[in-house]
Chain A
């Protein structure tokens, strides 16, 4: 799994290059066949994998844990906020997960633990992790895609869905 902090520099370099269309710098995963099964009734939404992203024991208060979901090319974070929030999972309802690819132009977001916001070094957008990823300020035309999380009895944290389209893909599950 990629460190999102390293991607801050990557984003900066892309912007600095002034290139209009930077090639994808993200490593390609195995190519999945397109869901073209004949005669199958397509579901209204894509079918998400249930993916274990970590365990509650791995989470430290207000420190982002880098994850990826629904696949390795879609970086994200889990954060334990220490207070119950809407969309929060776990016994305290305080665990949230978000994509860290900015839905504006695909630059990597980084976490600011003082404000508890995810911030984009590319064009200064700010998303509030305590308000469902609401774009406090910024350029994206959507709030930050958030994971549907489930925590089982062992404390394992599973992501099972995403509530907005992830940047760089026209289907959340490729």
Chain B
């Protein structure tokens, strides 16, 4: 039976409720919300004067009303130590989502920690340590002292390379500028940690190296471009499910033709039609269905390629478009180089591409026409290219990324309205760290090093390898073995004898053990192996800044207390630095101790001012006060000035001398820094930014509008991207050996690895186990009924899922929910990576067999088609 809350009325927000700016802390779209809080003993009334909306709430409200909120948008939380009512609801005034809320973001209130309403009771409230054979609470001082002593001892003995770190690099929850700076300053400033990896991949690298190497930062357009494009080209993305309100609020108007007026107004000298859309994806998705409903099937092209063959398709597009003369020659001449080299090197005929991709010659030709054939009267066709994990976690990541950017550059579609070549993104962005240049390229394959016994201490910040890494089963086995050595050693020593404890731990490390410190908001699966848990605060429990997929930066204001003694990550990093300084000083290592100075932050705003404000491009214009005043719309990075004072030409710095921009592959491209350009130092100082000032910040709507790219000479570089089959080691053999493609990805109901959703009845009722979508014929052949538990297995490992029949799945091509707690798809993903250690999750093959009939929790679930169907 479907889960029902049996809530049939909610407290009314009173007219004088406090209002806080909130940006959804889940996906990159960053929808604007407002949090309303008010005293537990008060409530509003239905008469207009008695409620926040000034509306008669004794009446039924119509569609899209601002004056309604769902039970999931309500909770009771602590604010300054007191219970308050809270409603977190979508903000109609936010240009990103215009009041739309997704099934994920609109549950933010319900996913908050509430002792009163028993929500998210999994949240960590105290530091926890391995004591007497289980995790036990302790004080911050005690926990940090142990972490600092063990970390310092290992560094003193083996050097910094023995400290392994896993740390998010993104914005939103478990990230943001404050927290990436806090962790970054610790590991890249005070130390030069090389063995570090990012939350969703086993190395410290960019997911989109290629586009950055070409001089094209990956978040270069704005959401309005989806309203202006003639054609939207989507590669490996399912945006209705994964960037929901970007799709609904900005793509659909163009597909329905209702952005026509805007097109005429902004781009008056060319003909306009409703958009066409081309979607490259091996499987049919709900996104394709929605596009067909709105634009009509004749304006939607689904290119269901053989998995992993995108590169051949893009090279064929480039070749055909160049042959037809549909390239933007003026732009290519003025703003790019190596076009001829790419044309020669990537030459791929329609026939050749058809053979590799499994598409027809006509499909490839027609799609090229849709994206590049000049419009009536000869106007250039405006095409927006958007890609995400199907490409990023796909075969030959680097070249495939480059091949798509080639097409966008050739057709003159970067930096112009209705264009862009962008990743669609996962989390928001929020990267501010000192240079990571010492990490090198390719970066260390951290997971493999851990498996092979390297490293003595592992600090984990908001990552759960157990659910979200490749080769996960092998990783878990090795990690458990190594951390168990330390656990057993710790259990043999009294907790109160600190010198003996540190000695026992370091001794176990020398025998192959690993000391694991997990900073997170909940006990994660990798946390089961950890020796120390440090409780973190999340978005809304702290002030937090991030930017969305069009570089829109906002401040989420603190609207509630963190659980127990949980702290923002930036302050945990600071306190860890303080403790390391103290311990190194005690050890007589003054020089090392001194490197941990500069962490005297008291608040997250201190970290922001130390980090983003001082070190990021345009950061000098950005303060909490200004962001607060700009609400949920914020500004688009980079900031270039302050309203009333005009844009400032002053080059900004992240380096030690004015005008110097620190290099680093991690995120510069995203924000449009010029990582290899030295801006001319000027003597003019930028206008001072008084922290109290609340003048609006002037931002940047599109990057590269001036045709200047992120390279030394400002020219974008075309890339040679030859097709070379399945590139990652072992994939070709795996594809031949096993019967089913185990394609994988996200689902609408769930955010990320379900770290909060796993405690949400609404979500867990829907998906008690990860689904694996299968063709009904395949299910029949395996004697499977809907909801039966199946085992997915190959030479890498095995995992489980519940069978979900759908005609959308081609025979022998399945799609499994990724990163789910009750069945980890990563268990069956091989260790194979590309030359820059980017994982290849998507090209995975395995066999499937039945484990059991649908368990009790699965009975009664809906296993119907997920696609919307018109009335019949």
**A52 is an interface residue with CB less than 8 A from chain B:** no
Give the contacting residue for A137; candidates B72, B748, B762; CB below 8 A. Answer: B748
**B783 is an interface residue with CB less than 8 A from chain A:** no
- Bits for B1-34, please: 1 = Cβ < 8 Å to A, else 0: 1111111111010000000000000000000000
The stretch among B95-103, B397-405, B836-844 that forms the contact with chain A is B95-103
B248 to chain A, nearest CB (A): 6
If A112-B871, A174-B58 touch, whether A139 touches B9 (CB-CB below 8 Å) is: no
Determine whether the beta carbon of B101 is less than 8 Å from that of A139. Answer: yes
Across-interface contacts of B92 in A (CB, < 8 A) = 20-21
**B118 is an interface residue with CB less than 8 A from chain A:** no
**B253 is an interface residue with CB less than 8 A from chain A:** yes
Determine whether the beta carbon of B868 is less than 8 Å from that of A119. Answer: yes
Determine whether the beta carbon of B62 is less than 8 Å from that of A106. Answer: yes
**B258 is an interface residue with CB less than 8 A from chain A:** yes
If A112-B872, A124-B290 touch, whether A20 touches B60 (CB-CB below 8 Å) is: no
Within 8 A of A (CB), among B210-260: 240, 244, 248, 253, 256, 258
Across-interface contacts of A86 in B (CB, < 8 A) = 1, 860
Determine whether the beta carbon of A24 is less than 8 Å from that of B866. Answer: no
**B147 is an interface residue with CB less than 8 A from chain A:** no
CA distance A145 to B60 in the complex (A): 16
A158 to chain B, nearest CB (A): 17
If A24-B60, A106-B65, A111-B871 touch, whether A142 touches B8 (CB-CB below 8 Å) is: no
**B349 is an interface residue with CB less than 8 A from chain A:** no
- Bits for A132-167, please: 1 = Cβ < 8 Å to B, else 0: 111111111111111000000000000000111101
| Residue of B1, B9, B64 with most chain A CB atoms under a 10 A cut-off | B64
**A115 is an interface residue with CB less than 8 A from chain B:** yes
Determine whether the beta carbon of A21 is less than 8 Å from that of B240. Answer: no
Across-interface contacts of B868 in A (CB, < 8 A) = 119-121, 124-126, 137
**B293 is an interface residue with CB less than 8 A from chain A:** yes
- Bits for A99-121, please: 1 = Cβ < 8 Å to B, else 0: 00001111100111111110111
Give the contacting residue for B864; candidates A32, A126, A170; CB below 8 A. Answer: A126
CA distance A142 to B68 in the complex (A): 14
A131 to chain B, nearest CB (A): 4
Across-interface contacts of A162 in B (CB, < 8 A) = 8
Across-interface contacts of A25 in B (CB, < 8 A) = 62-63
Within 8 A of A (CB), among B44-80: 45-47, 56-66, 68-73
Determine whether the beta carbon of A137 is less than 8 Å from that of B60. Answer: no
Please, how many residues of chain A have a CB less than 8 angstroms from a CB on the other chain?
Answer: 77
Determine whether the beta carbon of B871 is less than 8 Å from that of A163. Answer: no
Across-interface contacts of A142 in B (CB, < 8 A) = 4-5, 70-72, 762
Residue of A nearest to B109 (CB): A141
Determine whether the beta carbon of B71 is less than 8 Å from that of A105. Answer: no
Determine whether the beta carbon of B99 is less than 8 Å from that of A20. Answer: yes
Give the contacting residue for B258; candidates A16, A103, A116; CB below 8 A. Answer: A16
A164 to chain B, nearest CB (A): 5
Determine whether the beta carbon of B4 is less than 8 Å from that of A164. Answer: yes
Residue of A nearest to B290 (CB): A124
- Bits for A74-95, please: 1 = Cβ < 8 Å to B, else 0: 1000000000001100000000
Determine whether the beta carbon of B64 is less than 8 Å from that of A19. Answer: yes
- Bits for A1-17, please: 1 = Cβ < 8 Å to B, else 0: 00001001001001010
CA distance A145 to B2 in the complex (A): 10
**B427 is an interface residue with CB less than 8 A from chain A:** no
Determine whether the beta carbon of B103 is less than 8 Å from that of A141. Answer: yes
Please, how many residues of chain B have a CB less than 8 angstroms from a CB on the other chain?
Answer: 69
A161 to chain B, nearest CB (A): 8
CA distance A167 to B1 in the complex (A): 21
Determine whether the beta carbon of A123 is less than 8 Å from that of B8. Answer: no
B746 to chain A, nearest CB (A): 13
CA distance A23 to B67 in the complex (A): 11
Determine whether the beta carbon of A22 is less than 8 Å from that of B63. Answer: yes
**A40 is an interface residue with CB less than 8 A from chain B:** no
Across-interface contacts of B289 in A (CB, < 8 A) = 124
Across-interface contacts of B240 in A (CB, < 8 A) = 124
B298 to chain A, nearest CB (A): 20
CA distance A20 to B258 in the complex (A): 14
Across-interface contacts of B60 in A (CB, < 8 A) = 24, 26, 28-29, 71, 73-74, 168-169, 174
If A34-B58, A165-B71 touch, whether A171 touches B8 (CB-CB below 8 Å) is: yes
Give the contacting residue for A24; candidates B58, B62, B101; CB below 8 A. Answer: B62
CA distance A136 to B869 in the complex (A): 12
Give the contacting residue for A168; candidates B2, B62, B748, B865; CB below 8 A. Answer: B62
If A5-B871, A131-B861 touch, whether A28 touches B59 (CB-CB below 8 Å) is: yes
Determine whether the beta carbon of A131 is less than 8 Å from that of B860. Answer: yes
Residue of A nearest to B56 (CB): A31
CA distance A71 to B60 in the complex (A): 10
Give the contacting residue for A141; candidates B4, B6, B72, B98; CB below 8 A. Answer: B72
If A20-B92, A126-B866 touch, whether A168 touches B1 (CB-CB below 8 Å) is: no
Determine whether the beta carbon of B61 is less than 8 Å from that of A24. Answer: yes
CA distance A12 to B4 in the complex (A): 28
- Bits for A59-70, please: 1 = Cβ < 8 Å to B, else 0: 000000000000
CA distance A125 to B72 in the complex (A): 17
**B870 is an interface residue with CB less than 8 A from chain A:** yes
Across-interface contacts of B2 in A (CB, < 8 A) = 128, 131-135, 143-144, 146
A47 to chain B, nearest CB (A): 10
Across-interface contacts of A20 in B (CB, < 8 A) = 64, 92-93, 98-99
Across-interface contacts of B61 in A (CB, < 8 A) = 24, 106, 168-169
Residue of B nearest to A161 (CB): B8
Across-interface contacts of A73 in B (CB, < 8 A) = 59-60
Determine whether the beta carbon of A87 is less than 8 Å from that of B1. Answer: yes
| Residue of A16, A24, A172 with most chain B CB atoms under a 10 A cut-off | A24
Across-interface contacts of B141 in A (CB, < 8 A) = none
Give the contacting residue for B73; candidates A124, A136, A141; CB below 8 A. Answer: A141
A61 to chain B, nearest CB (A): 15
CA distance A168 to B748 in the complex (A): 23
Determine whether the beta carbon of B12 is less than 8 Å from that of A170. Answer: yes
CA distance A128 to B765 in the complex (A): 14
**B628 is an interface residue with CB less than 8 A from chain A:** no
Determine whether the beta carbon of B106 is less than 8 Å from that of A141. Answer: yes
| Residue of B58, B72, B762 with most chain A CB atoms under a 10 A cut-off | B58
Query: Would you mind naming 27 contact pairs between A and B with Cβ atoms under 8 Å apart?
Result: A11-B63, A25-B62, A28-B60, A32-B58, A34-B45, A34-B46, A74-B60, A87-B1, A106-B61, A114-B872, A120-B868, A122-B63, A124-B286, A128-B2, A128-B862, A134-B3, A135-B103, A135-B749, A137-B286, A139-B103, A141-B110, A143-B4, A143-B762, A144-B2, A170-B9, A170-B57, A174-B59
Residues of B within 8 A of A (CB): 1-10, 12, 45-47, 56-66, 68-73, 92-93, 98-103, 106-107, 110, 240, 244, 248, 253, 256, 258, 286, 289-290, 293, 748-749, 762, 765-766, 860-862, 864-872
